[in-house]
Each structure stands twice: as structure tokens, then as C-alpha cells.
Amino acid sequence: MRTYNIPIFVPHKGCPFDCVFCNQKRITGEIREVTPDDIREIISSYLKTLPKTDRYIEAAFFGGSFTGIPMDEQSALLSAAHEFLARGEIDGIRLSTRPDYISEEILDNLQKYGVTTIELGVQSMNDEVLKASNRGHTRADVVKAAEMIKRYPFTLGLQMMTGLPLDTFERSVETAREIIALKPAIVRIYPTLTIKDTYLEKLYLSGKYKPQTVDEAVELCKRLLLMFEKNGITVIRIGLQATDEICENGSVVAGPVHSAFRELVESAVYYDKIEKLIKNCAKKCEKGAKKCEKSAKNGTKNAVIAVNPREISKAVGNRRANIIKLKSEENIDLKVTGDASLSKGEVKLVCF
Ligand code: SF4
């Protein structure tokens, strides 16, 4: 069964915060408020493009702080989406919000309108990083909100950012550890992008903020992805944040932008697995195991690995990055083949 999200962007016009990476203040007034009729129109038109069977559809309210808008407006918007839920035309409603905009009164109301998933913009579990990012909430707010949400039958999602001001590799890893301890079902990882007309842009232009490079962000996100997966938490997104808290029409001034960022991260995970497999095999050879004859020609070694056929492009890497890296670092010519018996992420050494 395939899952579909019907995205509904709800800009939080009255947002009293001023997160350093957000350009919402600048565009306030440029975006028309979403009305219940807009929601009916968005969901109806989207449904026409989706299959009628074998699908799970959620209306997804993005915008960062849905539960910060006045309760009667929340109810009006949710009520419009709930009409589709009541008719069985969609299967759930999801939304994203801030950790300090969660209370029992809010959660009771969300439950009343059939909300299924709540995602919290955590961004960091380090109070210094949160303060430097002007988030306006603390680590303790995140813990309190996550625990409160888990007392309800909602699916909990947590979103974190990397490369925020004062953030480091270790602090991001620690944030991931603390997120894991809160046991969310899903996680999103967003490397920080410097958007035009934000305070972060000023910091960047004055040399007080150094954005992550693509390579740094990939290396860190690789570690985070493995941590979450090891703990049974599904990472539903890594990379560009197009319609969430950073508004769509902000242009990126600096930061780890790549249109296939998640694929870069997953390819880096494959590279490590392939390299480890080959090195382990080479060690066994040194200990006296029979060496593959193909491996000795002209000092260049040949390796053939198999992965699930759907994962071949990730194992090969963006623009054959893994093939090129293995050749330049280990002098190994790598061939990647498909094997349908292998599951996603599994790598088998066929010949080395
Ligand atoms: S990121 Fe969200 S909470 Fe922060 S200023 Fe923008 S809209 Fe407000």
C-alpha cells in the first residue's frame, strides 16, 4: 500500500518568534491566509490525482506552528479536513507544530477532529543551540510535549536540524540520542540552510556563522540515519525543507543544498558497508583463504557486490561517486549487480 500526503501550507502569520533561519517575518502579508474552503478545494483536487484503492492518504498541515493559531481557527481548518475523513476519502490528518504549543486542551481538540500524526519541530536538544537559534523554547519543552503527546493515540514525529549556530557534530549526535529516548515513530532531519533576509544570513555575511558543507552534512546525517534506524525509528525525510517552517519562496544563500541530499546520505552508508565487506574479505585472504584470481591483475583489484535491484543507483552513488571513490582510495574496480533476494540496505560480496 502506498502512502500519500496532501500538503496544505498554513503560514503562521502571528508567529511571535523569530528563529534565526526563518524568513516568515519578511513574507508576512504576502501570503493569503488559508480558509476552510481552500482546504476543501486542495483536498478535492488532490484526490482526483490519487488512486482509489490500495492507498493511505493523509491531509498534511505544514507550516511549523499549526497549534499556535487561535483555537477556533484550528478547529475550522481541521473541521474541513475532517469532512473527508468522515466520508472515508482520506485516512488521516497530520500536522507539524512547536513543542511549546502543546497542551491537553490542544491535544483534546486535535483528537476530536481525527488528527493521526503530530510532528514537533525540535531542531536541537541543546539549550545553547536553541538559544543561539532564537527558537524560544527549551529542551525541557520538547520532553514535556513529546511525553504528553504519547499519552494520546497520536503517532509522534520529531524533526531535528543540523548545522545550527553553536551546533557541532557531537551536539547533533547527542540530540539524536535524546530524540531516540523519547521514542518517536518517525523523524525528519533538516540540514540548516541560510535563507535570504534572515538573521542567519546576517550572521553568515558577517562571518559569525559558518554553514555546513554538503560533505559535512552528509557525514553527520549518515551517522544520524544509522542511529535512528538501529532504534527502529523511520526517517521519513533527510534534506531540503521546502514547505515546512522555512517558507517556499525564500532563496537559499548558503548551506548544504543538494536536490538528492537523502540519496547522497544513503549512498555514503552503502560506501561504508561495501568498503568494510571488501576489507574484511581481504583480511581473510591474507590469513590464507583462497584469493580470487581476478583480484590480482595489474595490481588493480576487481570486486562485484550485489544489492537489492531497486538500490543499485544508491550503491553506485550519485554520479558514480562510490565507484570513483573506491577506485581512487583502494584501487578497486567495483561492479554493482542486483539480487532480488536481498533486502533494502543489504550488501553481498559476490566476488573479490
Ligand atoms: S520557524 Fe516557525 S516558530 Fe520559528 S519564526 Fe518561523 S514560523 Fe515562527
Confidence at residue 65, expressed as pLDDT on a 0 to 100 scale: 86
CA nearest 337: which of 274, 272, 266? 274
Mean pLDDT lowest for which of 1-10, 199-208, 220-229? 1-10
Do residues 52 and 148 both lie within one domain?
yes
Flag whether 268 is in a domain: no
Q: Domain range for residue 86?
A: 2-259
By mean pLDDT, which of 126-135, 153-162, 194-203, 214-223 is the weakest? 194-203
Closest atom, ligand 1, to C-alpha of 18: 5
Q: Is 201 left (phi over 0), alpha (psi -120 to 50) or beta?
A: alpha
Q: How far is the CA of 69 from the centre of ligand 1 (A)?
A: 12
| Domain shared by 145 and 237, yes or no | yes
In a domain, 122, yes or no: yes
| Centroid of ligand 1 to alpha carbon of 18 (angstroms) | 6
Residue % of the chain over a pLDDT of 90: 75
- What atom in ligand 1 is closest to the CA of residue 64? 2
> Is 64's C-beta closer than 6 angstroms to any atom of ligand 1?
yes
Considering the domain architecture, whether residues 22 and 162 belong to the same structural domain is answered as: yes
**Binning pLDDT at 50, 70 and 90, where does residue 194 land?**
very high
State the distance from the centre of ligand 1 to the C-alpha of 144, rounded, in angstroms.
20
Classify 303 as helix, strand or coil.
Answer: strand
Better pLDDT: 226 or 26: 226
Identify whether residues 193 and 339 lie together within a single domain. no
Instruction: Please provide the average confidence, as pLDDT, over all residues in the chain.
Output: 90
Whether 285 maps to a domain, the answer reads no
Same domain, yes or no: 64 and 116? yes
- Report the percent of the chain where pLDDT is more than 70: 89
User: In this predicted structure, what is the pLDDT of residue 64?
Assistant: 66
- Ligand 1 site, residue 10, Cβ cutoff 6 A: no
Higher-pLDDT residue of 205 and 257 is 205
In a shared domain, residues 243 and 313: no
For the chain, the domain total comes to 2
Nearest atom (ligand 1) to Cα of 135: 4
* 241 and 314 together in one domain: no
- Within a domain: 235: yes
* Cα 216–Cα 218–Cα 221 angle in degrees, nearest 5: 110
| 187 and 312 assigned to the same domain | no
* pLDDT reading at 166 higher than 80: yes
Task: For residue 50, give the CATH number of its domain.
Answer: 3.20.20.70
Say whether 156 sits in a helix, a strand or coil: strand
pLDDT-derived band of residue 295, with 50, 70 and 90 as boundaries?
low
Residues 299 and 207 in one domain: no
Q: Is residue 269 part of a domain?
A: no
Render the burial of 48-60: b for 16+ CB within 10 Å, e for the rest: eeeeeeeeebbbb
- In the predicted model, what is the mean pLDDT of residues 309-317? 96
User: Is any atom of ligand 1 closer than 6 Å to the C-beta of 98?
Assistant: yes
Residue 246 lies in a domain: yes
Instruction: Judge whether residue 292 has pLDDT over 70.
Output: no
Q: Which of 259, 281, 299 finishes a domain?
A: 259
Of 62-71, 107-116, 289-298, 320-329, give the lowest mean pLDDT range: 289-298
Pocket test for ligand 1, best of 9, 10, 13, 17 (most atoms within 8 A of CB): 17
Three-class DSSP category at 110: helix
- Does 246 score more than 50 pLDDT? no
In a domain, 325, yes or no: yes
User: Could you count the other beta carbons within 10 Å of the beta carbon of residue 66?
Assistant: 26
Convert the pLDDT of each residue in 34-70 to its tens digit: 899 999 999 999 999 998 889 999 999 987 689 999 9
Q: Convert the pLDDT of each residue in 169-181 to its tens digit.
A: 999 999 999 999 9
Buried b (16+ CB within 10 A) or exposed e, 133-172: bebebebebbbbbbeebeeeebbbbbbbbbbbbebeeebb
The order of strands in the sheet holding 348-351 is: 332-338, 301-307, 348-351
Provide the pLDDT confidence category of residue 252 given band limits of 50, 70 and 90. Answer: confident
CA distance 274 to 332: 11
Number of the ligand 1 atom closest to the C-alpha atom of 21 = 1
Answer whether residue 173 is part of any domain: yes
Measured on CA atoms in the order 239, 254, 63, 165, is the torsion positive or negative? positive
User: Ligand 1 centre from 285 Cα, in Å?
Assistant: 56
Residues 314 and 254 in one domain: no
CA–centroid distance, 274 to ligand 1, in Å, is: 41
Domain check: are 114 and 190 in the same one? yes
Instruction: Determine if ligand 1 sits within 6 Å of the CB of residue 24.
Output: yes
Is residue 95 in contact with ligand 1, taking CB distance under 6 Å?
no
Distance 194 CA to ligand 1 centre (A): 14
Do 237 and 158 fall into the same domain?
yes
